[in-house]
Structure 1
Amino acid sequence: MSDYRTENPATGEVENTWTTLTDEQAQGALDTAHKAFASWRDEPLETRVAVLSKTAQAFKDQAKELAEIAAREMGKPLNQGVEEAELCAQIFAYYADNAEDLLAPTDLGPQGARSSVVELEPVGALVGVMPWNFPYYQVARFVAPNLLLGNTILLKPAEICAASAERIESMLREAGLPQGVYQTIHATNQQIADLVADPRVAGVSLTGSERAGSAVAEGAGRNLTKSLLELGGSDPFIVLGGNIAKTAETAGFARMENAGQACNAPKRMIVLEEHYDEFVEGLVSYVSGLKVGNPLEDGTDMGPLSSVDARDRLVELLEDAREKGATFHTGGTVVDGPGAFIEPAVITGITREMRAFEEELFGPVAVVYKVGSVEEAIELANDTPFGLSGSVWSDDLEKAEATARRIEAGMVYVNEHGTTAAGLPFGGVKRSGYGRELAENGLHEFVNHRLVRVSDAL
């Protein structure tokens, strides 16, 4: 069986396969990207902007079809796939519409010379290693700013998301992107390592697991190649007060979207004791009412997990928690029949002896903790090797904001969780990775901040 394939997680059927590159083909792709950089970087800004604008429109126009591809690849319900495509349209449009301001030189003042200016210059060919859970969005946030800069891209999709990756490349080409500037490569892990080791590769961006991130970072460091990593998360969702019933429903929606397969989903709900019972009751009511089924059918709230292997890894963690005394209020059982379905779960009573205390539950599982004070909530929130994002919920905004600022994470929110927009930076700290994507920050990762200083003639 080919490593690159569409294996419908709702049916278990293999619908398409792709041939993995040979080593010679992988090197040929880099040759092409390196040569294309010489011309792409010198294209007028308006040419690059036009490509991004047309790509944004393509994401809007083809949203339903793109959603259908994602549903077959990794199980995302159609309405969520459409929303993902529309978010990609916003990202491409953001960089197109704000290009001149984002790329404008920074005047540092004379400082003893005639002028001191910092300019943003592209650096070359980049390698992107993408995951499967948001097959369009996570590509868009890497690709859009770097194409605007003038970098070229070799994009390795997840093995189960070759179809969506092909569609992105075709949209870019139809938008006028020259041959070789963006290439989808069905590469092996070793071929990626070889590319990163090549001095013609200026940077590598990976979104994925800690294991994959460690391997890429090791290779990049050994070869002095710039890297950006967006890895796992165990985001706290701290409930201090306010409308508890509504907050519980919001927590359920945020946790269960995309079948819980999001790095920045609220994975640990930390609730003050006086609100705990009401919150758990509301959360269980919401989660138990979700319709689990075929992602291609209207009315489906949650599809399957991305694969049977992914489901079984989650079940292993759930069984460990169950055997060690965790309370399952609803769900957590495998759905009989074909596909990678599991009933969404709400769990309490997680302790340090359970693997679920530290390991990321990448699936539709909401874990709720009871705490007696704000201090205890903050201590528990930060008691994790991850640091992607977190949120605090209360009608006392001053208290909530003060609490949010004490969460050790790259992104913190008050009365919302995981909000993503083209103009908001995305990234984490600790074992959630390093670097930032989106917003202006997304232009400052793979770029030469070149100082140009002019002094008077001697």
Structure 2
Amino acid sequence: MSAGTDAVTTSNPVDGSPLATYPAMGPNDVEAAVVSGHRAAAAWGLVPVADRAAGLTRLAAHLRADAERYAALVTAEMGKPLAEARGEVEKSAVTADYYAGHAEHILRRRAVEIDSPANVSAFVQPEPLGLVLAVMPWNFPVWQVMRFAIPTLAAGNGVLLKHSPNVTGSALALADAFVAAGFPEHLVTTLVVAEPEVPETVGRLIADPRIAAVTLTGSNRAGEMVGAAAGRASKKSVLELGGSDAFVVLADADVPAAAAAAVRARFTNSGQSCVCAKRFVVEEPVAAEFTRLFLEGVAALVLGDPTDPATTVGPLARADLRDALQRQVDESVAAGATLAAGGRSVDGPGCFYEPTVLLDVHPGMAVFDEETFGPVAAVAVARDEEHAVALADATQYGLGLSVWSRDTERAIDVARRITSGAAFVNAVVASDPRVPFGGTRRSGYGRELAEAGVLEFTNQRTYWVASA
């Protein structure tokens, strides 16, 4: 992907070939988008919730009908295996269906019991905020947007989308998808901004009084900028940032099941996910068995062209991401980690990196302390349960957590002692429209999905009514 001051060009990470060039918006174009989006959001907020929900039903149908086109675009722009890209589109459709069926209940008027004075009643009504700015990442080009946009639209807000430049085609296609599903023009607007102009443009938008709130999924550096700007403007913000999720295997776990799940947890989306398990903390009595099975699973992965049905790991989305991963691996090996599999970039065109496993990892190593955004797994052995808890919690992040044990109550007790936004027992961490999603510590704040995802961008307005 390249971005001049007047154009954005996307490229295929398989071979570096250019895909498309899009004119970048200047200040006047961005202003026009804000004017139209603000007007559309104001009108949409007056639409009955049932009618908004009907639009989500149409959106789900549209996504399913055009799933192959969206999936092919995602794969071309960021290298996700095609089967995973299809899954991303389907998950978005499932989420639209979920909110179509639940929005009226979530956004209902809630009566408050008032005992005195006798002539007073009260209720709380969630009401939309207006136009919400969304700064979204490239790793799930469809799902990351839909995860935010669907509940936000259900709540009666509008969306101004600033997507990552390397998935500009996907960003524009998503804005068109809402129109195709019958949503009003300009209710969801994509901004095409050249990369050098992004910080100034986003900062100016957050300060704009017509922008009611902002959400970002991305790096900690970007989150710091957006959070600070939102704070200066006294605006609501939701930040979903980095993660270094622990995958804890206790001595009484079903080790074959845990090892098979560990391969999925780390290498889905070529390891390019905030909720991919990154640090595997294994109690010593089962460490040898887990490591053997885990390495067997990693050896069975197929690195290659993401359009090939046999491929399970595609390229990284950009060359700079591959290079950053190599630096983390090299530094960790130099610090004493054992390279058990992979460990290098693939020669030739494209941004391919071998599925990699590092053993003998401990705090102080790059692959333990930093977020690794690619197909690299770090395995640390714990002496006992207390040591496993200490290792898992030795991180600045706090997004997801996976704990494996045949004793589910023990696993829950372990999870309670490790800070995270979500804890999964004998399961791989994943987002689901039925439960809230978000992090703690440097993984951000606020929640998406479930009831919380709708209410984040509403005014919980109190009505106190005294009879005349």
TM tier relative to shorter chain: over 0.9
The correspondence for 1:430, drawn from 441, 462, 466, is: 441
Question: Which amino acid counterpart does residue 234 of structure 2 have in structure 1?
Answer: L
- CA spacing shift, 1:111–1:28, aligned 2, 3 Å: farther
Deviation at 1:238, TM superposition (A): 0.7
User: Does residue 312 of structure 1 match 2:313?
Assistant: no
**Is contact 1:2-1:18 (8 Å) kept?**
no
Deviation at 1:381, TM superposition (A): 1.0
Deviation at 1:118, TM superposition (A): 0.4
The correspondence for 2:105, drawn from 87, 94, 101, is: 101
Deviation at 1:247, TM superposition (A): 1.0
Corresponding residue for residue 231 of structure 1: 241
User: Does residue 273 of structure 1 match 2:284?
Assistant: yes
The correspondence for 1:201, drawn from 202, 211, 219, is: 211
User: Does residue 74 of structure 1 match 2:74?
Assistant: no
- 1:10-89 matches, cutoff 5 A: 10-89=14-93
Question: Which amino acid counterpart does residue 196 of structure 1 have in structure 2?
Answer: I
Corresponding residue for residue 300 of structure 1: 311
Question: Which amino acid counterpart does residue 85 of structure 1 have in structure 2?
Answer: V
User: Does residue 183 of structure 1 match 2:189?
Assistant: yes
Distance 2:101 2:10 in 1: 35
Corresponding residue for residue 369 of structure 1: 380
Distance 1:196 1:171 in 2: 25
Corresponding residue for residue 96 of structure 2: 92
Comparing 433-442 with 216-225, greater Cα deviation is found at: 216-225
**Is contact 2:126-2:458 (8 Å) kept?**
yes
Corresponding residue for residue 226 of structure 2: 216
Deviation at 1:41, TM superposition (A): 1.1
| Sequence identity (%) | 40
User: Does residue 137 of structure 1 match 2:143?
Assistant: yes
Q: SS of the counterpart of 2:165? A: coil
**Is contact 1:2-1:17 (8 Å) kept?**
no
Normalising by structure 1, report the TM-score: 0.98
Normalising by structure 2, report the TM-score: 0.96
User: Does residue 408 of structure 1 match 2:408?
Assistant: no
Distance 1:41 1:111 in 2: 32
Gaps of 5+ in 2: none
Deviation at 1:355, TM superposition (A): 2.2
| Stretches (4+) displaced over 4 A | none
Q: Deviations over 1:222-248 (max 9, x none)?
A: 111111000001111110123212211
User: Does residue 9 of structure 1 match 2:20?
Assistant: no
**Is contact 1:324-1:354 (8 Å) kept?**
yes
User: Does residue 161 of structure 1 match 2:167?
Assistant: yes
Distance 1:310 1:265 in 2: 16
Deviation at 1:193, TM superposition (A): 0.8
Q: SS of the counterpart of 1:387? A: coil
Q: Deviations over 1:404-439 (max 9, x none)?
A: 122200100110021321111100000000000000
Question: Which amino acid counterpart does residue 14 of structure 2 have in structure 1?
Answer: A
Deviation at 1:377, TM superposition (A): 0.8
Distance 2:304 2:245 in 1: 27
Comparing 25-34 with 430-439, greater Cα deviation is found at: 25-34
Deviation at 1:178, TM superposition (A): 0.9
**Is contact 2:367-2:378 (8 Å) kept?**
no
**Is contact 1:27-1:195 (8 Å) kept?**
no
- 1:243-262 matches, cutoff 5 A: 243-262=254-273
The correspondence for 2:345, drawn from 330, 334, 346, is: 334
**Is contact 2:275-2:430 (8 Å) kept?**
no
**Is contact 1:64-1:78 (8 Å) kept?**
no
Q: C-alpha root-mean-square deviation of aligned residues, in Å? A: 1.2
Distance 2:380 2:82 in 1: 32
Q: Deviations over 1:262-281 (max 9, x none)?
A: 10111111101000001011
Distance 1:296 1:406 in 2: 42
Q: SS of the counterpart of 1:98? A: helix
Distance 2:63 2:169 in 1: 15
Q: Deviations over 1:256-301 (max 9, x none)?
A: 0000001011111110100000101111111111100000111110
- CA spacing shift, 1:299–1:403, aligned 2, 3 Å: same
Distance 2:286 2:457 in 1: 46
**Is contact 1:276-1:370 (8 Å) kept?**
yes
Q: Deviations over 1:148-170 (max 9, x none)?
A: 11111100111111111111111
**Is contact 1:68-1:81 (8 Å) kept?**
yes
| Matched length | 457
Deviation at 1:451, TM superposition (A): 0.4
Question: Which amino acid counterpart does residue 389 of structure 1 have in structure 2?
Answer: G
Gaps of 5+ in 1: none
Question: Which amino acid counterpart does residue 265 of structure 2 have in structure 1?
Answer: A
